[in-house]
Structure 1
Amino acid sequence: MKTLTTYLKKKAEKQKLFVPYIMAGAQGLEALPEEIIMLAKNGATAIEIGVPFSDPVADGPIIQEAGLRALANKVTLKKLIELLQKFDSPVPLIFMGYSNSFFHYGLEKLAKDLENTDVKGFIIPDLPYEHRDLVLPTFDASDLALLQLISLTSPQERIKTLLEAAEGFVYAVTINGTTGTGKDYRDNLDEHLAAITKESKIPVLAGFGVSERAHVERFNECCDGVVVGSKIVQTLKEKGLEETSQLVGSLTQPLEKANAS
């Protein structure tokens, strides 16, 4: 079992998991270490780091715009890795990016360059399950987890297949469409998430459209935690680090106290 999977399974035995997403370099790459530290201090179990890409098919407008700002700031995967090679993150990091970025960099070079960083996993939304063998040999040799997304339209047989192959945590998508806030959840979503969680051997986290305390409380009832992205990305842009810290704290701190009691 890979390091990230073991870490998250152990955490999930004691508390609900909270995994925030931020876009690397949206506020300038030099701001990333402080953003990571802020999220960790406010209860992040692990942190998804968005790798900016010109055609982010799974991302909604808020994250797309953040990616464009990062690209305008001349953020590259190479520069991001060089920064993380010099930075000790308080929690594990997970790269969320698209196939082209990683294949263009070179998978073997990517794995080698990440050896002494806190990046322990990848989410690659445009890499179909059927093509996972393009990356798995390299990732397996380097203790890098490849996280699976399960969509609302996945049939039961496919869900079973995805769960058997899952590493790190299972990313259970809560809406049909791209990331972002203001979405309507379908009526039987809680049952759907509970069923996946029951079958999974590793933690299941709900993501896409999770933006407020009520969402966090709801999904913590039927799975192991949540992923929050667009709301954090938007708040960082519009209100800065301090108010983003307050936002994240409002989503996590009372939960931690409740779990400890």
Structure 2
Amino acid sequence: MKEYKVKNLVAYITTGFPSLEFTVDAALALAEAGVDTLELGMPFSDPVADGPVIEKANLKALEKGFKLDHLFDVSAKIAPHIDTLWMGYFNPFYHRGMDYFITQANKAGVNGFIIPDLPLEEARPYKPAIEAAGLNLIDFIAPTDSKARIEEIVKDAKKFIYLVAYAGITGAGKSEDLQPVITDIKSFTDTPVYVGFGVDQNTAKEKAEGADGVIVGSAFVKVLLDESLNDTQKISRIATLAKEIKEKINS
């Protein structure tokens, strides 16, 4: 009998929104709810891969005075309890230096980086130092990538591969048949494939088909933006949502 492998859930939340304390409490609640990996978003003024939901949370966090040091402090409280990655755009990494972020990640216990605007060719100079420090830089694949391009991207992929569910921005909820690209990826690597973009409680089961997990962001951040809820209600709501999605992708 073939052994059944549990599919993983990666959850994104925006650091510092609605507050730094909330970020810690929300992360711990998501861990308890069955989230396997947490993407801690680094607020940025021009999050080009993100849709209006996450963009709004980014801007609100910046308005509240978010600074990079806040990310490091929050991460040190979260990372001992859940596998944690920093999701951010390349601009801060470039200006502060990748070595600086590597040092801070190791201090906080964070396991790597997701940088959506850093393509393979531009990532290559940084990967050796990142991996030498025991960290991961997550690789992206889009449905529009050729088989040759997929082979090139995944040959050195570590931890998991971020399969973008469609060309566009997060939260748009489009639908594409991902089975051919998942088959292509798995023909070249055993590294797990997680599907992100447009994944929520309604689409998670379908998006997880053939993949090893899903990445959910906008569905959680929508709850954080809901001003009709207090902080306790928001945390309860995202924990319930995480449990529902984890159950659906494994049913």
TM-score, with structure 1 as normaliser: 0.86
Does residue 119 in structure 1 map to residue 82 in structure 2?
A: no
My pick for the range that moved more, 244-253 or 12-21, is 12-21
Counterpart Cα distance in 2 of 1:73 and 1:153: 38
Counterpart Cα distance in 2 of 1:203 and 1:133: 21
Tell me how far 1:254 sits from its aligned partner. 5.9
Aligned partner of residue 78 in structure 1, secondary structure: helix
Cα distance, 1:254–1:155 mapped onto 2, change above 3 Å: closer
Residue type at the aligned position of 2:37: A
- Pick one of 225, 234, 238 that aligns with 2:222: 234
Does residue 250 in structure 1 map to residue 244 in structure 2?
A: yes
Residue type at the aligned position of 2:195: A
- Pick one of 161, 179, 193 that aligns with 2:152: 161
Aligned partner of residue 165 in structure 1, secondary structure: coil
Matches within 5 A, 1:183-194: 183=174, 185-186=175-176, 188-194=177-183
Counterpart Cα distance in 1 of 2:204 and 2:187: 19
In the alignment, structure 1 segments of 5+ residues that lack a partner are: 1-11
Counterpart Cα distance in 2 of 1:205 and 1:23: 20
Counterpart Cα distance in 2 of 1:241 and 1:18: 17
- Residue equivalent to 2:123: 132
Cα distance, 1:78–1:176 mapped onto 2, change above 3 Å: same
Conserved? CA contact 1:163–1:170, under 8 Å: yes
Conserved? CA contact 1:89–1:118, under 8 Å: yes
Tell me how far 1:84 sits from its aligned partner. 2.1
- Pick one of 192, 200, 211 that aligns with 2:200: 211
Residue type at the aligned position of 1:189: L
Conserved? CA contact 2:14–2:57, under 8 Å: yes
- Residue equivalent to 1:5: none
Residue type at the aligned position of 2:215: V
Cα distance, 1:13–1:97 mapped onto 2, change above 3 Å: farther
My pick for the range that moved more, 231-240 or 41-50, is 231-240
Residue type at the aligned position of 1:207: G
Does residue 197 in structure 1 map to residue 186 in structure 2?
A: yes
Greater helix share, structure number:
1
Conserved? CA contact 2:204–2:249, under 8 Å: no
Tell me how far 1:23 sits from its aligned partner. 0.8
Aligned partner of residue 66 in structure 1, secondary structure: helix
- Residue equivalent to 2:18: 27
- Residue equivalent to 1:89: 80
Cα distance, 1:97–1:13 mapped onto 2, change above 3 Å: farther
Aligned partner of residue 151 in structure 2, secondary structure: helix
Q: Give the total of aligned pairs.
A: 243
Conserved? CA contact 1:197–1:223, under 8 Å: no
Aligned partner of residue 199 in structure 2, secondary structure: coil
- 1:174-205 CA-to-partner distances (Å, cap 9, x unmatched) read 1110000432x12x323322332343221001
Counterpart Cα distance in 2 of 1:198 and 1:17: 20
Residue type at the aligned position of 1:174: A
Counterpart Cα distance in 2 of 1:88 and 1:163: 26
- Residue equivalent to 1:62: 53
Counterpart Cα distance in 2 of 1:212 and 1:86: 28
Aligned partner of residue 119 in structure 1, secondary structure: coil
My pick for the range that moved more, 118-127 or 63-72, is 118-127
Counterpart Cα distance in 2 of 1:88 and 1:210: 24
Aligned partner of residue 32 in structure 1, secondary structure: helix
Cα distance, 1:23–1:245 mapped onto 2, change above 3 Å: same
- 1:198-249 CA-to-partner distances (Å, cap 9, x unmatched) read 4322100111011124x22223331111001101111122141111221111
Residue type at the aligned position of 1:210: V
Aligned partner of residue 134 in structure 2, secondary structure: coil
Counterpart Cα distance in 2 of 1:217 and 1:101: 35
Matches within 5 A, 1:33-44: 33-44=24-35
